[in-house]
Amino acid sequence: MSGKARRNGNGDAVTMSDIARHAGVSPMTVSRALSDPSTVSDKMRRKVEAAVRHYGYLPNRIAGSLSSKRSNVVGLIVPSFRNSLYASMIQAISDVLRANGFHLMIANSGHSLDDEEAAVSAFLAQRVCGLVLHNTTHTKQLRELVRRTGVPVIETGNLPAEPLDMAVSYSNFEAARAMTAHLGRLGYRKIGFVTLPLADNDRSRERRRGYFAALKDMGLPVDPGLVLEAAGGGFAEGAGAVVRLVQTHPKLDAAFFAGDVLAMGALLECQRRGWRVPKRIAIASFDDLDLLHHSVPAVTTLRIPREAIGRRSAELLVNRLLGAQPERLRIDLGFEIVQRDST
């Protein structure tokens, strides 16, 4: 190692030329031996590999990206990390990317469209090769940015009418409508709806729209008083909501919660108050938190294929990055109603 200053704690790194020199080949041969070994003779390759091992050479992907104008980092933006429903999607994306030699950069928008835009800007400055956005409504600036740079983008979390590029999701509207209709079919007639915060959140609004649509389909009265907006998505909010609904509408026979934690909070509150579920009130949920399956009673819910969505998103992105033709896609992975004991 030379005596050069080591700013930034980064020891003087071994470079490709160092390896080339010590292996007695040109840098280009080293480059090829590492990135596409089949284009190099066995003898050369072995010399390179030996030198690489000996010096513990780590290729500098920064330099590689600059030179090749290609990066292998995908940017993912989720509204928040705290919600477990993002976790299985992230896991799936991460797995697929890694299997294909890509890496994942991640940021959260805090449910703010402006923060989403800022994160996209920052990612684009890092020259990510692709983006996954858990959101389908964006600022004008963001749409412009994506259009101009031409990065492949996956939108998810909802099915947009006009995707920026590729969309992989399920329909919040259809899912909420289906569950509400399911409750109707089971004979429930006065069905409350507890929504997650609606501001800047198309997913929430679509779910509420689906609820209303189903009521109309069934010829049931649409009573806005039966709709409550929970301030957050926590257990306490679910508990508070079910109490308020039941107390203001004694004839309420079912409640549909737009989030799994809300539903669980409500169920626990019913337990505490001795309200029998589903006898006194039926409870249905959106999203299949594992817990809903193990609770007493187990909770009827909408199973969203979060993992498949993540996997498919990453696969589409990888294919595109590996050369697939650009193509505007809108893939609906659907949902499933899981009938259990709470309804």
Partner DNA sequence: CTGTTAGCGCGTTCAC
Partner DNA sequence: GTGAACGCGCTAACAG
**Closest separation in Å from C-beta 211 to its own copies:** 25
Q: Give the range of 16-24, 40-48, 208-216, 260-268 binding its own copies by CB under 8 A.
A: 260-268
The residue (of 65 and 83) whose beta carbon lies closer to DNA is: 65
* CB-nearer residue toward its own copies: 222 or 296: 296
CA gyration radius, the chain: 26
Residue 82 binding result from DNA, its own copies, none, given CB thresholds of 5 to 8 Å by partner type: its own copies
Cis peptide upstream of residue 297 (ω within 30 degrees of 0): yes
Interface with DNA, residue 97, by CB under 7 A: no
Distance from CA of residue 34 to its chain's centroid? 33
Binding mask 234-253 for its own copies (x = CB under 8 A): xxx--x--------------
Is there binding between residue 62 and its own copies (CB under 8 A)?
yes
128 lies in the site for DNA, by CB under 7 A: no
- Shortest Å, Cβ 323 to DNA: 13
Q: In DSSP terms, which residues pair with 34 in a beta bridge?
A: none
Token readout for 280 is: 């006194």
Q: Which of residues 187-206 bind its own copies (CB under 8 A)?
A: none
Name the helix (H) or strand (E) containing 285.
strand 282-286
**What is the C-alpha separation between 155 and 116, in angstroms, rounded?**
12
Size of the site for DNA (CB under 7 A): 27
Report the partner that residue 27 touches, choosing among DNA, its own copies, none (CB closer than 5 to 8 A by kind): DNA
CA distance 195 to 262: 9
The four Cα atoms 303, 328, 160, 89 give a dihedral, to 10 degrees, of 40
Cis peptide bond N-terminal to 221, omega within 30:
no
Select from 39-47, 198-206, 217-225, 287-295 the region that touches its own copies (CB under 8 A): 287-295
Q: Rank residues 41 and 121 by Cβ distance to DNA and give the closer one.
A: 41
Residue 108 binds which entry of its own copies, DNA, none, CB below 5-8 Å type-dependent: its own copies
Q: Using CA atoms of 126, 131, 138, 337 in order, give the dihedral in degrees to the nearest 10.
A: -150
231 binds DNA (CB under 7 A): no
Closest separation between CB of residue 105 and DNA, Å? 18
Candidate residues 21, 103, 190, 249; the one interacting with its own copies per rule CB under 8 A: 103
Say which entry of its own copies, DNA, none residue 220 contacts (CB below 5 to 8 A, set by partner kind): none
d(CA 101, CA 279): 53
Question: Looking at 28-36, 147-155, 195-203, 225-233, which segment touches DNA (CB under 7 A)?
Answer: 28-36
d(CA 181, CA 238): 22
CA torsion 315-319-322-326 (nearest 10°) is -140
Block residue for tokens 């109309």: 216
Per-residue CA distances from 305 to 218, 294, 326 (Å): 27, 19, 25
- In whole angstroms, the minimum distance from the beta carbon of 96 to DNA comes to 23
Spatial CA neighbour of 309 closest among 107, 172, 205: 172
16 contacts 59 by C-beta, under 8 angstroms: yes
Toward DNA, which CB reaches closer, 1 or 199?
1
Which one of residues 6, 17, 110, 222 is an interface residue with DNA (CB under 7 A)? 17
User: Which residues here bind DNA, judged by CB under 7 A?
Assistant: 13, 15-17, 25-29, 31-32, 34-35, 39-41, 43-44, 59-60, 63-64, 66-70
